[in-house]
Structure 1
Amino acid sequence: MSDSLLDVHIKHSLQTVHGVMPMEIALSLAKGQILAITGPSGAGKTTLLRQIAGLLTPETGKIVFEKDVWLDSSKQTSLAPQLRNIGFVFQDYALFPHLTVEENLLFGLPKGCDRNIVDDLLTATELSNLAHRKPSQLSGGQQQRVALARALVRKPHLMLLDEPFAALDYDMRYHLQDMLLRFHRQHQFTMIIVTHDIGEIFRLADQVAIIENGKVILQGTPTEVYAKDPSQTGDFVIFGEVLSCVRQADQLLVSALVENKVRQLTLPLNLASEMIPGNTFTLRYPMDSARVMLIRH
């Protein structure tokens, strides 16, 4: 047993438009971390979330959360989804159309729990004035806030989110990402989010795993992963504040605050005069030392 909060080791035959694709996933996640899962469509990302949640059973494997065995195919053990204390936010929101906003949240509230959390979440998500409306009367951003609140009402230990902000415009995406980070800091749950948005990965994730053809091909911090394989993304820009900078051999080891996350960056020596603690910076990626470009403020 590892020291991780969540350990997943599964094998599964996934039906795709191109035929059967063998899935073989092994990943671990520490308590309180946010893991972003990305990769091409059809790689198995949503299937993996559904397997962790217990909505789909892999052919073989084991899933352990803390000391609880959620799945062990060798012992024909599979814990029911409602017993896994998971919050799941689907890409299409999956709200009950015949229930009001408040009723959707109450539906997710475990029996015997204080219903005051429903009122607290309605306030925190700015939905109090919409509590008696039905999903069809809400905008996409409002529906997504309801979906997030309904997942949080369970006070889950693990949150699973499947491209939750993909259909929203930039301003709404940023607002909901900020709200999610706020809830994460407040409640300290562990989270896995499927996303194709590089900015979202850098803003939210402690770790990122790239899945291709049913396998994890890279996993690490966002800066580690995209520095190792710049082909995984086009050019993009990050903004940060230098916390510390140490020269090591022919490179700089920089600790920086990037979108509320402390990141470790490896940068070329010619940026030493800029990487002074307290300085703010803008870096254009990918992080090939020949291509790193600092845009001076």
Structure 2
Amino acid sequence: MIKATIHKTLRSATGKMNLAIELDFKRGQFVTLYGPSGAGKTTTLRIIAGLLSPDKGSIEVNDCIWFDNERKINRVPQQRKIGYVFQDYALFPHMTVRKNLEFALDNKQDKAIVDELIGIVELEELQDRKPETLSGGQQQRVALARALVRKPEVLLLDEPLSALDIRMRSKLQDYILKVHKKYHLTTILVSHDIGEIIKMSDVVYKLQDGCVEKVGKPMTVFASNQLSGKFQFVGEVIDITKEDVIYIVTVLIGQNVVKVVAQEQEIVNLEIGDKVIVASKAFNPVLQKIEA
């Protein structure tokens, strides 16, 4: 269980912003912070990690107080059982893959966890290589494994997949979900990718100007109307073509291109580049624009 009330005055090039958010979710959930740049997502992660202190508030994780300004409690990052994966990987360039993981070990910790993690994220053939010889996806797997070495209670992910191509991003999403479930983690992800959020998250907090604008299950947060059906996929509109009295909407879903027949009323507010949900209704596919 994580309960947090966070207040902090932030200053940027555009002026002052007051971060004032409340988080309350269960242990073991996969939670995503979503919103535009500057909404306070990364700052919230840094505060939970203890890398930044709020002006006031409290953070409680699994019945342990990590921060409470009134009681003058502020645990340092080393006292908070967290794993943190940064967007830029932050690996040690002079160390091999294995050495990067071993460096994260606690003094009294069994090294067997390193072998276990190398196996889970499929780094066996890369363990003696240095980061500069690895691809972006391979480096991200190393960063993920290193964040898990000390068996954290909370895994923090700050847009870890944003620089990767669609195929590699999808594969790493699967790795993250695998370790999230295997180690019974509570995971907090920062992401701008709606498809990624819907695939991975139990709960989404939509932030705007330092406040929580909306919270709920991904389909509740992003869909204006609830859709039911045997399938639901998220994709991006890449073409809209009129054929006689109907429209053909071409949607990119992952690495697949799907063509959906639509009526005029379905495409009135639809443009190329929009994110949509493709769902089934009475055996016919329907489109719904995602309100980001």
SS in structure 1 opposite 2:188? strand
- CA 1:158–1:283 in 2, change beyond 3 Å: closer, same or farther? farther
TM-score by length of 1: 0.78
CA distance, structure 1, for counterparts of residue 252 and residue 150 of structure 2: 34
Q: Which runs of 5+ in 1 are unaligned?
A: 240-264, 275-280, 289-297
Match of 1:284 in 2: 287
Q: How many residues align?
A: 247
- CA 1:167–1:235 in 2, change beyond 3 Å: closer, same or farther? closer
Which of 68, 73, 77 does residue 73 from structure 2 map onto?
A: 77
TM-score by length of 2: 0.79
Match of 1:258 in 2: none
In the alignment, is the contact (CA less than 8 A) between 1:37 and 1:195 conserved in 2? yes
* Seq. identity, %: 46
Which of 26, 50, 56 does residue 52 from structure 2 map onto?
A: 56
Map 1:14-93; keep pairs closer than 5 Å: 14-93=10-89
TM-aligned CA deviation for residue 284 of structure 1: 2.9
TM-aligned CA deviation for residue 234 of structure 1: 9.3
SS in structure 2 opposite 1:9? strand
Deviates more, 1:105-114 or 1:174-183: 105-114
CA distance, structure 2, for counterparts of residue 284 and residue 104 of structure 1: 46
SS in structure 1 opposite 2:32? strand
Is residue 2:206 matched to residue 1:203?
A: no
Q: Which amino acid aligns with 1:199?
A: G
Match of 1:294 in 2: none
In the alignment, is the contact (CA less than 8 A) between 1:234 and 1:286 conserved in 2? no
Match of 1:215 in 2: 211
In the alignment, is the contact (CA less than 8 A) between 1:70 and 1:78 conserved in 2? yes
TM-aligned CA deviation for residue 118 of structure 1: 0.3
TM-aligned CA deviation for residue 144 of structure 1: 0.2
**Deviation string for 1:21-50 (max 9, x for gaps)?**
111011111111101111111111100000
SS in structure 2 opposite 1:75? coil
CA distance, structure 1, for counterparts of residue 84 and residue 147 of structure 2: 6
Map 1:109-120; keep pairs closer than 5 Å: 109-120=105-116
Q: Which amino acid aligns with 1:138?
A: L
Runs of 4+ aligned residues of structure 1 deviating over 4 Å after TM superposition are: 233-239
Q: Which runs of 5+ in 2 are unaligned?
A: 227-233, 238-250, 254-276
RMSD: 2.5
TM-aligned CA deviation for residue 111 of structure 1: 2.2
SS in structure 1 opposite 2:223? helix
SS in structure 2 opposite 1:165? coil
CA distance, structure 1, for counterparts of residue 128 and residue 54 of structure 2: 39
Is residue 2:132 matched to residue 1:129?
A: no
CA distance, structure 2, for counterparts of residue 147 and residue 134 of structure 1: 13
CA distance, structure 2, for counterparts of residue 212 and residue 16 of structure 1: 15
